[in-house]
Amino acid sequence: MITLLTGENSFEIDRALDAIISGFDGIVEKIEGSGLQIAQIPDILMGVSLFNDKRLVIIRNLSENKLVWPVFGDWLPKLSDDIHLVLIEPSPDKRTVTFKALKKNADVREFASWTDRDAFQAEKWVANEAKTMGFDLNKKCIQYLVQWVGVDQWQLYYALEKLSLTDDITVETIKNVIEPNPVENVFNLFETAIRGDLEALARILKTLEQTEDVFRLTALLSSQVFQLAAVASAGKDNNVAKDFGIHPYVVSKLTPIAKQLGKLGVSKVIGIFTELDDDMKLSRAEPWLLVERALIKVANL
Ramachandran angles phi, psi of 188, nearest 5°? -60, -40
pLDDT of 78 over the 70 cut = yes
- The more confident residue out of 44 and 249 is 44
pLDDT of 14 over the 70 cut = yes
User: What CA–CA distances, in Å, run from 79 to 48, 57, 220?
Assistant: 11, 11, 47
pLDDT of the residue at 52 = 62
Q: Using pLDDT thresholds of 50, 70 and 90, give the confidence band for residue 6.
A: very high
pLDDT of 116 over the 60 cut = yes
CATH class of this structure's domain 116-177? mainly alpha
Output the CA torsion sign for 156, 162, 168, 172. Answer: negative
pLDDT, average across residues 261-285: 91
Q: Using pLDDT thresholds of 50, 70 and 90, give the confidence band for residue 246.
A: confident
Q: Are 279 and 174 in contact (CB under 8 A)?
A: no
CATH code: domain 182-299 is: 1.20.272.10
pLDDT of 294 over the 60 cut = yes
pLDDT of the residue at 49 = 58
User: What CA–CA distances, in Å, run from 293 to 114, 168, 205?
Assistant: 33, 43, 11
pLDDT, average across residues 139-161: 91
Nearest C-alpha neighbor of 163 from the set 138, 183, 187, 185:
138
Instruction: Using DSSP, state whether 176 is helix, strand or coil.
Output: helix
Taken as a whole, the chain contains a residue count of 301
Every domain of the chain and the residues it spans: 2-110, 116-177, 182-299
Which DSSP category does 165 fall into?
T
Task: State the average pLDDT for the chain.
Answer: 89
pLDDT of 170 over the 70 cut = yes
- What whole-number percentage of the chain has pLDDT above 90? 53
pLDDT of the residue at 254 = 86
pLDDT of the residue at 237 = 67
pLDDT of the residue at 20 = 96
Reported as type and span, the H/E element at residue 109 is: strand 107-110
CA atoms of 37 and 10, how far apart (whole Å):
26
pLDDT, average across residues 123-129: 95
pLDDT, average across residues 274-278: 93
Q: Are 26 and 52 in contact (CB under 8 A)?
A: yes
Residue 287's Cβ-side half-sphere holds a number of Cα atoms within 13 Å equal to 13
Nearest C-alpha neighbor of 4 from the set 153, 115, 104:
104
CA atoms of 208 and 214, how far apart (whole Å):
9
pLDDT of the residue at 180 = 76
pLDDT, average across residues 198-220: 87
Output the CA torsion sign for 24, 27, 28, 29. Answer: negative
Q: Using pLDDT thresholds of 50, 70 and 90, give the confidence band for residue 295.
A: very high
pLDDT, average across residues 274-285: 91
CATH 3.40.50.1000 assigned to 2-110? no
Instruction: Give the chain's radius of gyration (CA, Å).
Output: 25
Residue pLDDT, tens place only, 180-192? 777 777 888 888 9
pLDDT, average across residues 84-108: 94
pLDDT of 286 over the 90 cut = yes
Q: Using pLDDT thresholds of 50, 70 and 90, give the confidence band for residue 27.
A: confident
- What whole-number percentage of the chain has pLDDT above 70? 97
pLDDT of 50 over the 60 cut = no
pTM of the model: 0.69
CA atoms of 243 and 230, how far apart (whole Å):
9
The answer to which of 142-151, 234-243, 268-277 has the lowest mean pLDDT is 234-243
pLDDT of 3 over the 80 cut = yes
